[in-house]
Each structure stands twice: as C-alpha cells, then as structure tokens.
Amino acid sequence: MNKKYAICYNKEIDNSTIVKERLFAILNRKEISVDIVDIDNLKTGYDFVFVIGGDGTILKTARFYARTQTPVFGINLGRLGFLSQTSKENIEKSVDKILNNEFYTENRIMLESSGYIALNDIVIKGALAGRTSSFSLKINDKPLCDYLADGIIIATPTGSTAYGLSAGGPVVSPHLNAFVIVPICPHTLTARPLVIPDNEKITICGTDPDSKYLFSADGQEFSEFENSIEIKKSAYSAKLALLDDSEFYSILKNKLHWGISPACIENSNYTK
C-alpha cells in the first residue's frame, strides 16, 4: 500500500511558501503524491508529515499528529530549530533518505493537564504580570515545596532544552522517562530544579486565594485557573522522524554549542 504524505507549512514564516513549493516539486518528480496542509488547518489521514517552519510550528504539528501516531519530520526555517532534522539547503538529500527508509522514529513523552497536551512544557504563572506569585507543589498528593516565584515550568526531556534550560534547569536525554520541575526566579536559594519519574502526578496549587493563575502548554495554548491544577504524563506520545546523523548529543553540540568555548564559536574556521 502506498504511503500518504503531507507537507505542513506556516505561511507566516519567511520563505515557507517557497520551500513548500520546492519540496512539493521534489516529491512530485519522484512520483510521490502529497497534500499541502496549512498549520492552522491540520487534518489527519496521513502516514508521514513533512513540517516546514521553526520549533513552534513543529511543536503544534507534533501535538496534533501525536493522537494518530503519525511521524513528523521538521525542515527548519526558524532560528535554532532544535526539533528540526534538516535545513532548506538539504531537502532533497533528506527526502531521498526518507523514501529509502533511511530514518528512524522516536516516541517522545508528553505532558497532559486540563485537556491540553504538551511536548515541551507546561508553565504556570500568576495572572498579574510583573509580580511574583505563591505556589505549593505536591507530588502524588504529598506536599513537597512552597514557592514564591515568577512561575513554575514542568518540562519533558524534549522540552528540557527550551524554557527550562533558560531558567536554570538541566538538559535531560529524550530517552529518559522523566519530568523536570523548574521554578522561575524563585525567592529562595533552596528552590532548585527537580527531576522526577514520569509516572508521578504533579499538583500545583495557588496559595493566594485572591489571585488567579495562568497555564500554558508549549507556549501556544493558554488557560486560567484559580485553585489547583494537576499535571501528568499524557497517554499520547509525539512521533518524531529522525535521520541517522541527528543523534541527540550531536544536536546538543552543534546547535547549542555545548562545551565549546566562545572563542571557538566566533572563529570562522570552526567546523561542527
């Protein structure tokens, strides 16, 4: 049975339409039938989805297709592109590998709360910008910590290189079944990031009865709550299509310049 392919693109990103047309032409030249899908009008029924855009576009697409376990393959047009697997310059080479089955897929664990799912992270903050908020953290219904902070990040291993890393959290291999809890600018030096197994239930309570709190999933879907919110591992997992040369530690080195001195990064002779 022939596979059904789709190209998902974000028309708001520069050059996305041009790259979409180029990818469409490459696949047609190889006699591969493919549909064009806009990021704001995603639909199911495909066996493999190419995604053109930055990490935000890939996150939204991966969440949608996690429910059907459809592999998504990112083509980076953004700044960092940590979730993407190829650049616009290497599209045809990557397409050849995919059509020759020279790729593999990874199931990435996701978070779930209040009907939302997240591949990167769930972030809790106070509704009033510019003010710290009071939070209480419970693990498996057992009180653990009270925070006075700008917010709390609950990150997956995939999301550990995103907001959580910027807030001082650790980088976690995507092969680990764990979540990271990172307070944002806490008002105590003892409030450190915490790594927990992914089968534990996280409850965050707002301890100020007169305050409201904001919830965001991957920084793209938002909601508000007043008392408490539960976060746990989602029943769905994102399915990322990866090339053989996109192993996690290589990406960590090449895209985040891990362990490389600033002098080497600035040196034009430095090669990855």
Query: Checking DSSP bridges between strand 5-9 and strand 34-38, what pairing results, if any?
Result: parallel
Domain ranges of the chain: 5-111+237-266, 113-233
Low-confidence ranges of the chain (pLDDT < 50): 268, 270-272
* 182-205 pLDDT tens trace: 999 999 888 899 999 999 999 999
Instruction: For the domain covering 113-233, report its CATH number.
Output: 2.60.200.30
Is 113-233 in the same CATH topology as 5-111+237-266?
no
In the prediction, which pLDDT does 263 show?
Answer: 61
In the prediction, which pLDDT does 23 show?
Answer: 96
Instruction: For the domain covering 5-111+237-266, report its CATH number.
Output: 3.40.50.10330
Active site residue 55: yes
Prediction pTM value: 0.90
Q: Which of 35, 38, 55, 198 is catalytic?
A: 55
In the prediction, which pLDDT does 272 show?
Answer: 44
